């Protein structure tokens, strides 16, 4: 097991701009989509992990499941804070959050625990190759962005790398069938894609005082094609039977971020452009 650290960091994301990185409006929108998505998804995962605990017999798996749930609960809480800051500026965005939460409530009520654990394990496995690509190209994506928001996202992505195999381990312990997980991959990917599309469409109709390219540009257009291909192949491979994220190549930045955390640096302002408050 991985000995996860549960970190509480005070991010100042109550009043950040919707386009928090003016050098990359489309990427700002994509990360805002993640914020609204994460509040629903990670609350759902916390609920699922709590349900799974009754069926975990191995103390090491239990320890991992509890630490994993605690990390995810803090992620949901901080992204909720970010979403609230955006809702304060565009009150109609409350409806987007409500729709996301309602959609996860419906999934939770409609399927058994086995499905939820497959969903959690499968989606978490996708995160490692995708967030590795984002962190590898952090200068282009986050460098000119508001440090409050950029630091929130690099924290979240580093912790996703850290607990990359937790949900998979819980799934294997409680359910154990690779084929059940693979069989349901299409269904949960369709659900997450649907939510991402819904959130973006709602943004487009509610938040209109942004540059036109915010909704039309490729948010990952600044990432070289080879890196996008490598990430896409990693995402595909992450759903193969017997794939285990624990063995995946990690972004170099993770070690740097962890070193900064261990050195006691202010992680709430660790990346991006800080604005003087004096
Ligand atoms: Fe998370
Ligand atoms: Fe996660």
**Are the C-beta atoms of residues 196 and 137 closer than 8 Å to each other?**
no
Q: CA 163: distance to chain centroid? A: 12
Res 99: pLDDT: 98
Asked whether residue 70 is assigned to any structural domain, the reply reads yes
Going from the Cα of 263 to the center of ligand 1, the distance in angstroms, rounded, reads 23
Going from the Cα of 278 to the center of ligand 1, the distance in angstroms, rounded, reads 33
Partnered with residue 273 across adjacent β-strands are: 146
- Judged by its nearest atom, the ligand closest to the C-alpha of residue 75 is 1
Going from the Cα of 72 to the center of ligand 1, the distance in angstroms, rounded, reads 5
| Measured distance CA(270)–CA(261) in Å, rounded | 9
**Are the C-beta atoms of residues 158 and 71 closer than 8 Å to each other?**
no
Asked whether residue 207 is assigned to any structural domain, the reply reads yes
Partnered with residue 146 across adjacent β-strands are: 273
Q: Identify the domain containing residue 66 by its residue range.
A: 25-269
What's the pLDDT tens digit per position in 129-161? 899 999 999 999 999 999 999 999 999 999 999
Asked whether residue 19 is assigned to any structural domain, the reply reads no
How many distinct structural domains can be found in the chain? 1
Asked whether residue 5 is assigned to any structural domain, the reply reads no
Asked whether residue 237 is assigned to any structural domain, the reply reads yes
- Which SS3 state, helix, strand or coil, does residue 273 take? strand
What's the pLDDT tens digit per position in 33-82? 999 999 999 999 999 999 999 999 999 999 999 999 999 999 999 999 99
pLDDT tier at 1, thresholds 50, 70, 90: low
Extract the tokens encoding 247.
């063995």
**Are the C-beta atoms of residues 26 and 140 closer than 8 Å to each other?**
no
Question: Residue 56 has what DSSP assignment?
Answer: -
- Judged by its nearest atom, the ligand closest to the C-alpha of residue 163 is 2
Asked whether residue 82 is assigned to any structural domain, the reply reads yes
Which has the closest alpha carbon to 127: 98, 87, 176, 164? Answer: 164
Asked whether residue 39 is assigned to any structural domain, the reply reads yes
pLDDT tier at 276, thresholds 50, 70, 90: low
Asked whether residue 12 is assigned to any structural domain, the reply reads no
- Which SS3 state, helix, strand or coil, does residue 238 take? coil
């Amino acid at each position: 097991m991985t000995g996860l650290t549960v970190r509480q960091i005070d991010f100042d994301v109550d009043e950040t701009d919707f386009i928090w990185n003016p050098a990359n409006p489309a990427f700002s929108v994509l990360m805002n989509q993640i914020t609204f998505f994460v509040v629903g998804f990670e609350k759902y995962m916390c609920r699922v992990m709590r349900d799974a605990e009754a069926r975990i017999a191995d103390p090491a798996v239990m320890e991992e499941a509890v630490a994993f749930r605690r990390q995810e609960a803090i992620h949901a809480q901080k992204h909720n804070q970010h979403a609230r800051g955006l809702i304060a500026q565009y009150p109609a965005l409350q409806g987007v959050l409500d729709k996301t939460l309602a959609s996860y409530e419906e999934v939770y009520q409609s399927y058994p625990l086995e499905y939820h654990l497959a969903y959690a394990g499968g989606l978490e496995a996708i995160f490692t190759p995708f967030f590795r690509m984002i962190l590898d190209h952090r200068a282009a994506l986050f460098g000119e962005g508001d440090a409050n928001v950029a630091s929130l996202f690099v924290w979240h992505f580093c912790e996703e790398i850290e607990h990359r195999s937790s949900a998979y381990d819980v799934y294997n312990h409680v359910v154990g069938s690779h084929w059940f997980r693979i069989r349901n991959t299409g269904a949960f990917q369709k659900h997450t894609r649907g939510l991402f599309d819904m959130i973006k469409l709602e943004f487009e109709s509610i938040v209109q005082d942004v540059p036109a390219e915010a909704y039309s540009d490729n948010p990952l257009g600044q990432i070289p094609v080879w890196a996008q291909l490598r990430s896409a192949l990693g995402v595909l491979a992450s759903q193969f039977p017997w794939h285990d994220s624990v063995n995946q190549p990690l972004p170099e930045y993770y070690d740097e971020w962890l070193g900064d955390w261990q050195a006691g640096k202010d992680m709430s302002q660790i990346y991006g452009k800080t604005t003087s408050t004096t």
